[in-house]
Amino acid sequence: MRRTRVAVAVLASAIAMLGLLVAAQAPASAAQIVRIDSLSPTRSSVFIDSPAMGRTVQVQVLHPAGGRARPAYYLLDGLDPGVGQSTWTNATDAEAFFRGKNVNVVLPVGGQASYYTDWQQDDPRFGRYKWETFLTRELPPLIDENFDGNGVNAIGGLSMGGTAAFILAARHPHLYRAIAGYSACPDTGLATGGVMFSIANRGGNPINMWGAPGTSAWAEHDPSLLAERLRGKTIYLSTGTGVPGPHETEIKPQLAENIFLGGPVEVGINTCVITFEQRLRSLAIPARIDYSPVGTHSWSYWQDTLHASWPTIGSAIGA
């Protein structure tokens, strides 16, 4: 009788341990689309329940009206993204520009000062940021399934979003064929102070992102250190010099900001792009880099370079 009780106890313990093991190995619940709002025949707002983020995330998609299989271009916003829609659709002609092109342009909404990365800690100001998981694991299968995607991707962005695009491409090289950065610094080591200031200036705690500067987590998110992983990718970068150009010749509300803030910021970006180009050259990794003799850190120039980059990016993904 005692042997029977011992055997039953052992079996019960084994079943319990097996249950714990299965639970530990079970994948996290998948992201699901809550709804899709059709804004036009070629533009939709997609609302996604993200387990990683712990909330519903909005993504805009610019897409053809037809159903032919197509690649995707994930296009990230800057430090202060639009509210309710991507600034790409609010401040540029992106919607009209991509109309008729056989590509899904995927525009995440939100992510202020996030660098579109997985933060180590929830932040009192921003909450839970797990953008890397959302953008690389949760979102792509939903886009491909619901918008006739063929699994071929590129990623790009302006300023902070461009830095993030290079980080994500270096950390997930299997996912992207091409990367673009418009006035972006793909060297977080060189730009450590600027990265931390930009987060703190928006009310966040930069230590909550990758911990203290100089730690392994920062190195693991530095495209310059990870540049070898970009080999074989199509790379596009653009930068101005900070000198006022053709978009500063008319009086408009943002004129002073573009010149006195956007000018110095673009000077720093220009230096970073030069340094990153040298890093790529040392590894014999080709890239197309457009250096403009003028141009501030502002949307009119990013619209110009979006247009200029598309033959390079579109060709790389077969769009």
Instruction: Decide if domain 32-317 falls under CATH 3.40.50.1820.
Output: yes
275, two tokens:
């340094």
Evaluate the CA torsion angle 92, 59, 230, 216 in order and state its sign: positive
User: If DSSP codes are grouped into helix, strand and coil, which group holds residue 14?
Assistant: helix
Residue whose C-alpha is closest to residue 135's, from 111, 159, 101, 158 = 111
d(CA 264, CA 187): 18
* CA angle (193 as vertex; 188, 199 as ends), nearest 5: 90
- Position 251 scores a pLDDT of 66
Q: So where are the chain's domains?
A: 32-317
d(CA 88, CA 187): 24
Pairing of strands 55-62, 234-239: unpaired
**Residues 6+ away with beta carbon under 8 Å from 136:** 168, 171, 172, 175
For 77, the token pair is: 């916003």
Please identify every stretch of the chain with a pLDDT value under 70, giving residue numbers as ranges. Answer: 1-29, 251, 260
Kind plus residue range of the DSSP H or E element containing 1: none
Residue-level pLDDT at 1: 42
Per the document, the length of the chain is 319
> Rounded distance, CA 184 to CA 264, Å?
14
Q: What is the pLDDT of residue 20?
A: 37
User: How many CB atoms lie under 10 A from the CB of residue 155?
Assistant: 31
Q: What is the pLDDT of residue 254?
A: 78
Provide the pLDDT for residue 260. Answer: 67
204-229 per-position pLDDT tens digit: 999 999 999 999 999 999 999 999 99
**Gap between the Cα atoms of 183 and 157, Å rounded:** 9
pLDDT given at position 91: 95
Is residue 217 within 8 A of residue 167, CB to CB? The reply is no
Contact 146, 131 (CB under 8 A): no
Q: For residues 138 and 50, what is the distance between their CA atoms, to the nearest angstrom?
A: 7
